[in-house]
């Protein structure tokens, strides 16, 4: 057996730290182990003993790129525990805030993290030398997403205005009016992004993973919903633990999840394939122009799906602003009680599940958080196994770069669970 | 003349503070023309060898490997600036400093023996000399640009070290404590956010950490008058800057 150890100065352009160990046996990839070595931060443990009001602010700090996802899943779970639900303009505002995060996070991933893979640049800034207009357009979109986050949430990273039951303050229709104008411009930009990325050169690859996403009646899933799978199951968030089981693997600080005992995928490909009929008309037209069918199972094309989802998030934000009436009060009244609540929402990189158990005083006695990255880890390893197997003729450096692309297709947010892909290839 | 080099390093954190650099949408490409971004793995696959003129360090020290890595980063850096609550005070994960990390690990992981971690989460300054600490959870974009500009120009950043109260007054906001009886850490919290929470009708929860010489003893009776019990006072000081000495002193007194 010959073991070669390659130290590569990346997984770059993901959020977090990881290493990859490939075992190649007789010309075939035998195992691919993605080791997430982000230092553990023990959020579920340090949430114990905190008041029911605190998880949205605390869990936001799990991820600087998708804090709204953490805040929303936490609110959904705590509201369920207390028997409350948002409706009307408060529910619309929560979805509008989340649209801001989708626009900002997807624009970041598409332009600064993912597109450089297709165009042969080390990063988005270098890519600007040859594609200045595209990078500037991407930054402008990202800025619009951040402006929406700041308008509703007070801050783009770790918004301060979110609370269980709603918000601390709510905007007036007049406050939202300038944002509507800005979003109209963003809609044109987002459609241009779909055209741009759909012209990239995509390796042929179809994955067979089971798929899982949220489902909302009559509209594309973002801020809440039941859970649906490609195997035909549909169940409320409260039954998530019966279907999705996390287990620890020795090679990673991130837990591995399985769906009814099987490997599965959550995130843009799953969301789109299970819900494409629910997109708005502009996003649906953009998807058709980009050559996406009703489903998409090529992980390299996830960049196109993300771009379509940006169109949708902009379109949806305009719709929500048009229908907005300022609510009488910024939050529904919540009376904490003993019990357990479950909550899901669609983080830009996939379904995010939270569960809290409260005591009679409204203090958290137990917390469980299942982030998209741990759900997707088995699927990413399977992609690596299959795809690296098609490129074993590459030298070690090129093979490592290709493996990074395979990982970045899934936009893994490894700080969920620090940045170097330390690749070990064992050929035997 | 060659451009000054900038490196960005991550330790235990959420990535939000380095993301703040990418959130400078209007300035990012201009900045990239003024400095050579030599190492920034969240944003680039290209890593140039050190030494670096300015290093931005995000995150706290929580593993034996990171204890070693921060010393290497210091050796490679002419100026070292920490960005954010994790790097300047240990972050939310410093709550472990007041608990039993083995028990934390056992409650989250079925096989905690696979987990390599320290019993503490400590700021960068506990390990190496730091040239400047930028506060916030997350940091403020304008303060980051001022800090970067200052060190690249060879001067000290011009940033306030007063309290959030001064920013509130400058914005002309009505005091949420005086008007509504809302508990607020503004009087003892480091300025920098622009009084975001009071602007949203919410009390400050201290995410920029303690100001220079905070008078927490004077604030405590006001928090009680606003309806916070002792446990709630302990919790609000034990959040994103839990291990900052001035805040840790308040919460430690209230731990059973």
Q: Which domain holds residue A17?
A: 2-40+375-427
The last residue of a domain, from among B93, B121, B153 = B153
Mean pLDDT to the nearest integer, B115-128:
91
Q: How many domains does chain A have?
A: 2
Q: Which domain holds residue B72?
A: 5-153
Chain A residues touching residue B135 (CB < 8 angstroms) = none
Q: Which of A217, A240, A96, A101 is CA-nearest to residue A166?
A: A96
How far apart are the C-alpha atoms of A10 and A142, rounded to whole Å?
A: 24
Residue B114 has what pLDDT? 66
Q: How many domains does chain B have?
A: 2
Does B138 share its domain with B205? no
Mean pLDDT to the nearest integer, A106-131:
93
Residue A148 has what pLDDT? 98
Instruction: Report which of residues A213 and A45 the model is more confident about.
Output: A213
Choose the closest CB to B16 out of A48, A135, A158. Answer: A158
Q: Looking at the DSSP assignment, which residues form a beta bridge with residue A370?
A: A353
Q: What is chain B's mean pLDDT, rounded?
A: 93
Instruction: Report which of residues A249 and A202 the model is more confident about.
Output: A202
**pLDDT of residue B86 exceeding 80:** yes
* DSSP-based three-state secondary structure for A102: helix
Does B20 share its domain with B72? yes
Mean pLDDT to the nearest integer, A379-383:
91
**Quick check: B19 and A58 CB within 8 A?**
no
Mean pLDDT to the nearest integer, A373-391:
89
Place of tokens 């918000």: A167
Residue from B200, B228, B255 whose CB has the most chain A CBs within 10 Å, to mutate: B200
Residue A2 has what pLDDT? 43
Q: What is the pLDDT of residues B156-176, one digit of tens each?
A: 999 998 999 999 999 999 999
| Cβ atoms of residues A371 and A255 within 8 Å | no
Instruction: Report which of residues A250 and B62 the model is more confident about.
Output: B62
Q: What is the pLDDT of residues A38-73, one digit of tens each?
A: 667 888 999 999 999 999 999 999 999 999 999 999
**Quick check: B59 and A418 CB within 8 A?**
yes
How far apart are the C-alpha atoms of B113 and A250, rounded to whole Å?
A: 9
Q: What is the pLDDT of residues A136-182, one digit of tens each?
A: 999 999 999 999 999 999 999 999 999 999 999 999 999 999 999 99
Q: Residue B60: inside a domain, yes or no? A: yes
| Strands (E) located in A16-115 | 18-25, 28-36
Q: What is the ipTM of this complex?
A: 0.96
Does A61 share its domain with A197? yes
**pLDDT of residue A416 exceeding 60:** no
Does A418 share its domain with A297? no
Instruction: Chain A: give the shortest CA distance to residue B10, in Å.
Output: 6
Q: Residue A253: inside a domain, yes or no? A: no
Does A135 share its domain with A209? yes
Does B137 share its domain with B178? no
Six token digits for residue A55: 């998880």
Give me the helices (H) in chain B, please.
16-22, 28-34, 64-75, 85-89, 101-108, 141-153, 164-171, 176-180, 196-199, 216-225, 230-237, 245-253
Lowest mean pLDDT among A351-365, B72-86, B87-101: B87-101
Question: pLDDT confidence of A36, banded at 50, 70, 90?
Answer: low
Q: What percent of chain A stands above pLDDT 90?
A: 72
Does A92 share its domain with A227? yes
Q: Residue B113: inside a domain, yes or no? A: yes
Chain A residues touching residue B97 (CB < 8 angstroms) = none
The last residue of a domain, from among B153, B175, B208 = B153
The last residue of a domain, from among A328, A351, A371 = A371
Does B125 share its domain with B229? no
Residue A419 has what pLDDT? 31
How far apart are the C-alpha atoms of A363 and A336, rounded to whole Å?
A: 9
Residue B118 has what pLDDT? 86
Interchain contact A7–B (C-beta under 8 A): no
Q: How many helices (H) and strands (E) does chain B have?
A: 12, 5
Q: Residue B158: inside a domain, yes or no? A: no
Q: What is the pLDDT of residues B25-61, one digit of tens each?
A: 889 888 888 899 998 888 888 889 989 999 999 999 9
**Quick check: A146 and B23 CB within 8 A?**
yes
Does B140 share its domain with B19? yes
Mean pLDDT to the nearest integer, B142-149:
94
């Amino acid at each position: 057996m010959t073991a070669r150890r390659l130290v590569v100065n990346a997984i770059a352009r993901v959020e977090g730290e990881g290493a990859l160990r490939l075992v190649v046996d007789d010309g075939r990839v035998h195992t691919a182990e993605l080791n997430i070595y982000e230092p553990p931060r023990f959020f579920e443990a340090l949430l114990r003993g905190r008041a029911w009001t605190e998880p949205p602010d605390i869990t936001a700090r799990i991820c600087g790129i998708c804090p709204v996802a953490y805040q929303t899943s936490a609110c959904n779970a705590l509201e369920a525990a207390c028997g409350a639900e948002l409706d009307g303009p408060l529910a619309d505002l929560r979805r509008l805030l989340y649209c801001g995060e989708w626009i900002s996070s997807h624009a970041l991933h598409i332009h600064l993290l993912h597109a450089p893979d297709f165009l042969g640049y080390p990063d988005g800034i270098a890519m600007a030398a040859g594609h200045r207009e595209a990078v500037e357009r991407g930054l402008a979109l990202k800025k619009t997403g951040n402006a929406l986050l700041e308008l509703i949430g007070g801050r783009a990273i770790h918004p301060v205005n979110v609370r269980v039951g709603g918000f601390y303050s709510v905007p007036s229709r007049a406050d939202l009016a300038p944002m509507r104008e800005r979003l109209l411009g963003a809609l044109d930009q987002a459609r241009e992004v779909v055209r741009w990325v759909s012209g990239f050169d995509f390796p042929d690859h179809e994955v067979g993973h089971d798929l899982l996403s949220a489902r909302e009646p009559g509209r594309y899933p973002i801020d809440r919903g039941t859970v649906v799978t490609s195997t035909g199951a549909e169940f409320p968030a409260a039954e998530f633990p019966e279907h999705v089981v996390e287990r620890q693997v020795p090679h990673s600080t991130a837990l591995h999840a399985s769906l009814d005992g099987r490997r599965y995928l959550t995130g843009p490909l799953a969301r789109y394939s299970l819900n494409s009929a629910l997109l708005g008309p502009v996003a649906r037209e953009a998807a058709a122009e980009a050559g996406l069918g009703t489903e998409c199972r090529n992980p390299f094309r996830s960049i196109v799906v993300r771009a379509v989802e940006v169109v949708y998030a902009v379109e949806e934000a305009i719709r929500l602003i048009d229908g907005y009436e300022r609510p009488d009060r910024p939050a529904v009244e919540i009376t904490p009680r003993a019990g357990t609540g479950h909550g899901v929402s669609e983080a830009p990189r996939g379904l995010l599940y939270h569960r809290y158990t409260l005591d009679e005083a409204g203090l958290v006695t137990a917390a469980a958080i299942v982030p998209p990255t741990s759900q997707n880890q088995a699927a990413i390893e399977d992609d690596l196994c299959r795809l690296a197997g098609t490129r074993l003729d590459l030298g070690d450096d090129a093979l490592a770069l290709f493996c990074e692309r395979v990982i970045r297709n899934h936009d893994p947010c490894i700080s969920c669970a620090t940045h170097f892909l330390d690749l070990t290839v064992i050929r035997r | 003349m060659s451009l000054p080099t900038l490196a960005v390093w991550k330790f235990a954190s959420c990535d939000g503070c380095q993301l703040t650099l990418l959130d400078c949408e209007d300035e990012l490409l201009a900045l990239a023309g003024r400095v050579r971004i030599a190492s920034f793995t969240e944003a680039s696959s290209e890593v140039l060898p050190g030494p670096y003129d300015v290093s931005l360090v995000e995150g706290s020290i929580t593993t034996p490997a990171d204890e070693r890595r921060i010393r290497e980063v210091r050796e490679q850096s002419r100026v070292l600036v920490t960005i954010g609550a994790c790097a300047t005070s240990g972050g939310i994960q410093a709550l472990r400093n007041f608990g039993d990390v083995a028990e934390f690990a056992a409650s989250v992981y079925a096989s905690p023996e696979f987990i390599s971690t320290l019993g503490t989460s400590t700021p960068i300054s506990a390990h190496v000399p730091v040239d400047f600490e930028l506060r916030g959870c997350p940091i403020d974009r304008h303060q980051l640009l001022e800090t970067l500009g200052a060190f690249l120009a060879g001067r000290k950043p011009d940033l306030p070290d007063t309290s959030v109260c001064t920013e509130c007054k400058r914005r002309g906001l009505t005091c949420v404590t005086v008007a509504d009886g809302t508990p607020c850490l503004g009087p003892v919290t480091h300025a920098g956010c622009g009084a975001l929470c009071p602007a949203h009708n919410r009390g400050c929860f201290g995410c920029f950490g303690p100001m220079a010489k905070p008078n927490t003893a004077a604030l405590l009776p006001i928090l009680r008058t606003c309806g916070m019990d002792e446990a709630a006072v302990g919790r609000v000081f034990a959040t994103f800057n839990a291990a900052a000495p001035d805040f840790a002193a308040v919460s430690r007194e209230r731990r059973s």
